[in-house]
Chains A and B, each alone.
Chain A
Amino acid sequence: MSSLISIQPLPVDLHVMSPAIWIAAGIIFTMFLLFGARGKLAVLLPISTLVFLAGAFFASTSLWNGGKSSFGGTFVADNAALFANFIFILCAAITVIAITARYCPFSKSSPDGEGTMESPEVFPLLLTVALGAMIMAASRNLIVTFLGIETLSIPLYVLAGINLESERSKEASLKYFLSGAFASGFLAYGISLVYGAVGKLDYAAIKMIAFAISSDYTLYAGLALIAVGFGFKVALVPFHAWAPDVYQGSPALITGFMASIVKAAAFIAMLRFFGEAVAPLYEIWWLPIAVLAVLTQTFGNILALNQTSLKRLLAYSSIAHAGYLTIAILIIGGEWSHAINRFRAVFSDAVQSSLFYLAGYAFAVIGVFTIIWWLSGRFKETALLSVDDVQGLGQRHPFAAAMMTVFLLSLAGFPITAGFLGKFYLFTSAIKQGFAILVVISLLNAVLSAYYYLKVVVAMYMRPVSGDQLEQPAPLVNGWIYTVIWITAIGTIWLGVIPGSLLGLIARITIGS
């Protein structure tokens, strides 16, 4: 019972904490800037945000291959957590640049015209989300994981509703908050049940006890509730109902950020939980998780087929992607069951393939939402961009259409994009662990998904264009936007064609002891 209320202070290694400390310092600094930085000085906000993100990035690189931990092993800086940090920092940095494009006081072609910085509080909020994500990725203790999830979620509820002019944004915020609170309830109750059953919150301790006991229904119930809580967070079917409305209502940039960073953080946390804590129970959980994976992929894809709103379509696509990623958890189970020395089992395939997948997914999804936001900017964001609205985009704005095609192809998993190699890596690992049938189902699902991604491409290039559609002015040109789209597009292609260097880094990542 000692790990919850520890009497001796746990050893603290500030170096291990340094990425999180950089971000936390950034939060405080940008919050103070909110008071002073007005008018032209407002540009200090994104710049300082980027500086602190860069600090966190370099702090993470300095820890690479160190394998250190702090707080008695509950907060680790292993390569998995550090690589996840890179993904979070990337998501946050790209989003910051894109938001700056929206509000940049220097940009003459700023969509608002006024050049005022609306809602400057997004910057500390974005940083807080990144902090929560980092805690989730580094945690090896249920309470710390819970803390990370809450740190990540609460600013996201605010961000979803940041567009005060839009009823849908407010609705999204409330819905996200309610379902998020519900999920947190499940998680907290599940954690308390697990604690009740094993008396420990540390993953390593839970694993040791789970390995020893034969069956304990309190522990199973706790495990189930935690899985449901995570299921809500990453929108697995049947816990997905909130996602389309929230994705649709939130400002597009926030949606892209949410889709990428939350998925990355939650899946790393899940891999840690299932691998480092409850892997010995894999015989109990593998079947329900496999069912969740199949349901999520299939329903996500089928429901996406008939969507007309682009954001809703991508929301369902994001659900389907969560379904593919769920396979990574099963790979954990497979690796555990095939390990020679189970107690010392090290998980490599699952975490490596899912990290690569998440990195590729982050590029594509942030890219595509940036374009959506860019295109709907002139509609004051409240207008919903539908598939019909992008009709003729290939002629109106070839650059936007071409880049959108790249991102959609990556989401669909076509070669030369990161999406293909991500799926390929994930599915190879899954077949290696004996989930061949699941992979066939997933591959057929990917074929299904091609239909709705191509639907958007068809609208952009192939549908006959009427005169007034062509007369719509091309979206405003803005250097910041180009930066974001180029970064994400080059990232997508780079990971799809010459991923060797990145995969070399990823190949050193393992979790478990």
Chain B
Amino acid sequence: MPESLDILSLVVFLPLFGVLVLGFINKDDHGTLKIVALVTSLITFFLSLLIYFGFDANAAGKLIPGYQFVNQSSWIPALNVRYVVGVDGISLYLLLMTTFLLPVCILGTWNHIKDKLKLYLQMLLLVTVGISGVFVALDMILFFFFWEVMLIPMYFLIGIWGSKNRIYATYKFVIYTMAGSALMLAAMIYLYLQSGHLGHYSNYTFVLPDLIDYFEQFPLSPEIQAILFWGFAIAFAIKVPLFPFHTWLPDAHTEAPTAGSIILAGVLLKMGTYGFIRFCLPLFPDASHQFAGVIAVLAVIGIIYGALVAAVQPDLKRLVAYSSVAHLGFVMLGLFAFNQQGVDGAVLQMVNHGLSTGALFLLVGILYDRRHTRMISDFGGLARTMPVYFVIFLIMMLSSIGLPGLNGFVGEFLILLGAFKVSPLMGGLATTGVILAAVYMLWMFRRVFYGEVDKPENKNVPDLRPVELCALVPIVLICFWIGLYATPFLNHIGSGTAPIIERLNSSAYSVKHAVIEGSANLEKDEHPLKTAKVILPEEDWNE
């Protein structure tokens, strides 16, 4: 545990303090409970803003190169497990998203939950501790701790406050995730035991930057890399979820309460993609190259399949859930393009998807709270009865489709650009996903909002309450901000992704292929890998 509490650890553990405070409040005093939870979440968010404004994209990082706000202290010395946290350009935004979505969840579902409210708020705060911990942990076991700890409150959120099929969904969610993480734990332990082999490093270590350094100097054999890569990749692919590991997602998303869906879509899925970029790519660069083609194909299948299935969903929430499968396919495609555009776009798209899909789940939840149905066929003509709701829904939907001027466009455009550079075929197939997204979203939108108000119960649906607007308006503003001026975001993200891309392109696999492809450039003073950067992955995917 941290010896001196720094601001980053404070952001992670502050909600825990909120949980304790909530514990002392009478469980029937709903007003106080909500205010305490909201205040805790807002303080956490403002503290994380301090990290955001204190973050310097050009700083080298003092204690650990590349990371800022680092706190490291010993935790379990006997097992060489350390408490190491820090942020770089990638985790910065994901951490910010996590702390931002917490007050959104509390505000957005202000009056939705009446049963066991105290436990509900405690679980919401706890899940935030787990997820923000995942994004800042730099020790593998600390990461694993947060990764698994997050499961328990999420399990309660889905299982207690979910809808009809919640118990099935919650089992599926937990067992799927655990199955993946079991393999990941074994791979982590294996890596740890490799790290002490040559005696160059005084001791075994679980600290990720040290491990990456170590394996850069003493690379693992390709076979071992392949096994370990999949050990990690399956855990992350389940979380993402990458096709065909996605089947838990529609159930969990649909059955979860609104706040649960927001957290699931907004940040929890990002734990998977984050895991890929934080662990798989830098630790196993050769294996990443080797399997980039497989993952890209699965990602494209996910994009198209998710969109097609979303198009035929009668249930609003299920539709948004399947759209997540498609969007996360884009993220994976961008990551495995291994170029600056693709990877940066993927990280930005993680944030975008969290904002737009999180907001869509909140909007669907608000509608469900008023009408107690999520079936598209039960609605129609809502544009007249709920004009404010209509406008916000429209903006978030367009952001999700990727309309220029909104955030979704920037991310998807960069991803497709990166993918096209590597493989026009994959890029082209993925682009159909953008069109399909417009199809399912607009079709749903027409059925819900346009036409006559033909059902009597839709005539008097109350519009958004001020408290719900408080939750939604900031999201809308950020969507416009990213959509219109993404440069500062991309600068930060680029500072985090650049070392990873460089590492990927300096791997043994790259060098070997670079010699073949770019031998002419080798004589020149130019770094051989710069050439390799563009040529290589193309070859990977066509293999």
Q: Interface of A with B (CB < 8 Å)?
A: 395, 409, 414-416, 420-421, 424-425, 427-428, 431-432, 436, 439-440, 443-444, 446-447, 450-451, 454, 457-458, 461-463, 497-500, 503-504, 506-507
B189: which of A439, A497, A499, A506 is its contact (CB, 8 Å)? A439
Q: How far is the CA of A424 from the CA of B78 in the complex (A)?
A: 12
Besides A440-B186, A461-B159, A503-B78, 14 new A-B residue pairs in contact (Cβ under 8 A), listed by A number:
A414-B148, A414-B152, A415-B148, A431-B189, A431-B190, A440-B182, A443-B183, A443-B185, A444-B179, A457-B155, A500-B74, A500-B76, A503-B76, A503-B79
Q: Are A440 and B183 in contact (CB under 8 A)?
A: yes
B245 within 8 A of A: no
Q: How far is the CA of A503 from the CA of B81 in the complex (A)?
A: 12
Residue of A431, A447, A499 ringed by the most chain B CB atoms within 10 A: A447
Q: Are A462 and B193 in contact (CB under 8 A)?
A: no
**Lowest 4 A-B CB distances belong to which pairs?**
A503-B78, A443-B182, A462-B159, A415-B145
B484 within 8 A of A: no
- Within 8 Å CB of B185, what residues of A? 424, 427, 443
Q: How far is the CA of A432 from the CA of B189 in the complex (A)?
A: 9
- Within 8 Å CB of B79, what residues of A? 421, 424-425, 428, 503
B77 within 8 A of A: yes
- Within 8 Å CB of A428, what residues of B? 79, 189, 192-193
Q: Are B160 and A462 in contact (CB under 8 A)?
A: yes
Q: How far is the CA of A458 from the CA of B75 in the complex (A)?
A: 33
B154 within 8 A of A: no
Q: Are B193 and A504 in contact (CB under 8 A)?
A: no
State how many angstroms separate the Cβ of A305 from the closest Cβ of chain B: 12
Q: How far is the CA of A427 from the CA of B79 in the complex (A)?
A: 12
- Within 8 Å CB of B297, what residues of A? none
- Within 8 Å CB of A424, what residues of B? 79, 141, 185, 189
Q: Are A463 and B175 in contact (CB under 8 A)?
A: no
Q: How far is the CA of A323 from the CA of B441 in the complex (A)?
A: 52
Find residues 143-162 in chain B having any chain A CB closer than 8 Å to their own CB: 144-145, 148-149, 151-152, 155-156, 159-160
B170 within 8 A of A: yes
Given contacts A414-B152, A432-B193, A439-B189, contact A447 B182 (CB under 8 A): yes
Nearest neighbor of B193 in chain A, beta-carbon distance: A432
B10 within 8 A of A: no
Q: Are B186 and A506 in contact (CB under 8 A)?
A: no
Q: Are A498 and B1 in contact (CB under 8 A)?
A: yes
- Offer 30 A-B interface pairs, CB within 8 angstroms, sorted by A: A414-B149, A414-B151, A414-B152, A415-B148, A420-B145, A420-B148, A421-B76, A421-B79, A427-B189, A428-B189, A428-B193, A431-B186, A431-B190, A436-B186, A436-B190, A439-B186, A444-B179, A446-B178, A446-B182, A450-B175, A451-B171, A451-B175, A458-B159, A461-B156, A461-B159, A497-B1, A499-B78, A500-B75, A503-B78, A507-B78
State how many angstroms separate the Cβ of A323 from the closest Cβ of chain B: 15
- Within 8 Å CB of A507, what residues of B? 78
Report whether over half of chain B's contact residues are helix, strand or loop; otherwise say mixed. helix
B166 within 8 A of A: yes
- Within 8 Å CB of A420, what residues of B? 145, 148
Q: How far is the CA of A416 from the CA of B1 in the complex (A)?
A: 12
State how many angstroms separate the Cβ of A500 from the closest Cβ of chain B: 6
B47 within 8 A of A: no
- Within 8 Å CB of B170, what residues of A? 458, 462
Q: How far is the CA of A293 from the CA of B128 in the complex (A)?
A: 38
B442 within 8 A of A: no
Interface flags, B386-404, vs A, CB<8A=1, else 0: 0000000000000000000
Interface flags, B66-77, vs A, CB<8A=1, else 0: 000000001111
Q: How far is the CA of A39 from the CA of B137 in the complex (A)?
A: 58
B439 within 8 A of A: no
B498 within 8 A of A: no
Q: Are A504 and B77 in contact (CB under 8 A)?
A: yes
Given contacts A451-B175, A454-B174, A462-B166, contact A416 B145 (CB under 8 A): yes
Interface flags, B489-507, vs A, CB<8A=1, else 0: 0000000000000000000
Given contacts A461-B159, A507-B78, contact A450 B186 (CB under 8 A): no
State how many angstroms separate the Cβ of A452 from the closest Cβ of chain B: 11
Nearest neighbor of A451 in chain B, beta-carbon distance: B175
State how many angstroms separate the Cβ of B204 from the closest Cβ of chain A: 9
- Within 8 Å CB of A425, what residues of B? 79
- Within 8 Å CB of B189, what residues of A? 424, 427-428, 431, 439
Q: Are B171 and A454 in contact (CB under 8 A)?
A: yes
Q: Are B186 and A415 in contact (CB under 8 A)?
A: no
B364 within 8 A of A: no
B309 within 8 A of A: no
Nearest neighbor of B150 in chain A, beta-carbon distance: A415
Q: Are A499 and B76 in contact (CB under 8 A)?
A: yes
Q: How far is the CA of A432 from the CA of B152 in the complex (A)?
A: 30
- Within 8 Å CB of B174, what residues of A? 450, 454
Nearest neighbor of B148 in chain A, beta-carbon distance: A415
Q: Are A462 and B148 in contact (CB under 8 A)?
A: no
Residue of B74, B76, B159, B182 ringed by the most chain A CB atoms within 10 A: B182
Nearest neighbor of A428 in chain B, beta-carbon distance: B189
- Within 8 Å CB of A500, what residues of B? 74-78
Nearest neighbor of A461 in chain B, beta-carbon distance: B160
Q: How far is the CA of A432 from the CA of B174 in the complex (A)?
A: 29
Nearest neighbor of B196 in chain A, beta-carbon distance: A432
A444: which of B1, B74, B182 is its contact (CB, 8 Å)? B182
Q: Are A504 and B186 in contact (CB under 8 A)?
A: no
Q: Are A462 and B167 in contact (CB under 8 A)?
A: yes
Nearest neighbor of A412 in chain B, beta-carbon distance: B178
Q: How far is the CA of A462 from the CA of B190 in the complex (A)?
A: 38
Nearest neighbor of B158 in chain A, beta-carbon distance: A462
Residue of B151, B159, B186 ringed by the most chain A CB atoms within 10 A: B186
Nearest neighbor of A459 in chain B, beta-carbon distance: B167
- Within 8 Å CB of A458, what residues of B? 159, 167, 170-171
Residue of A395, A458, A497 ringed by the most chain B CB atoms within 10 A: A458
- Within 8 Å CB of A497, what residues of B? 1
Q: How far is the CA of A451 from the CA of B179 in the complex (A)?
A: 11
State how many angstroms separate the Cβ of A505 from the closest Cβ of chain B: 9
- Within 8 Å CB of A461, what residues of B? 156, 159-160
Q: Are A415 and B78 in contact (CB under 8 A)?
A: no
- Within 8 Å CB of B186, what residues of A? 427, 431, 436, 439-440, 443
Nearest neighbor of A446 in chain B, beta-carbon distance: B182
Q: Are B78 and A409 in contact (CB under 8 A)?
A: no
- Within 8 Å CB of B75, what residues of A? 498, 500
Q: How far is the CA of A425 from the CA of B281 in the complex (A)?
A: 27
- Within 8 Å CB of B152, what residues of A? 409, 414
- Within 8 Å CB of B190, what residues of A? 431, 436
- Within 8 Å CB of B171, what residues of A? 451, 454, 458
Q: How far is the CA of A504 from the CA of B78 in the complex (A)?
A: 6
Q: Are A415 and B76 in contact (CB under 8 A)?
A: no
Interface flags, B46-79, vs A, CB<8A=1, else 0: 0000000000000000000000000000111111
B78: which of A395, A416, A451, A506 is its contact (CB, 8 Å)? A506
Q: How far is the CA of A504 from the CA of B192 in the complex (A)?
A: 20
- Within 8 Å CB of B160, what residues of A? 461-462
- Within 8 Å CB of A432, what residues of B? 193
Q: Are A454 and B155 in contact (CB under 8 A)?
A: yes
- Within 8 Å CB of A427, what residues of B? 185-186, 189
Q: Are A463 and B148 in contact (CB under 8 A)?
A: no
Q: How far is the CA of A395 from the CA of B119 in the complex (A)?
A: 11
Find residues 108-127 in chain B having any chain A CB closer than 8 Å to their own CB: 116
State how many angstroms separate the Cβ of A446 from the closest Cβ of chain B: 6
Q: How far is the CA of A366 from the CA of B74 in the complex (A)?
A: 31
Interface flags, B165-204, vs A, CB<8A=1, else 0: 0110011001100110011011001101100000000000
State how many angstroms separate the Cβ of B78 from the closest Cβ of chain A: 4
State how many angstroms separate the Cβ of A338 from the closest Cβ of chain B: 12
Q: How far is the CA of A447 from the CA of B234 in the complex (A)?
A: 15
- Within 8 Å CB of B76, what residues of A? 421, 499-500, 503
Q: Are A450 and B78 in contact (CB under 8 A)?
A: no
State how many angstroms separate the Cβ of A413 from the closest Cβ of chain B: 9
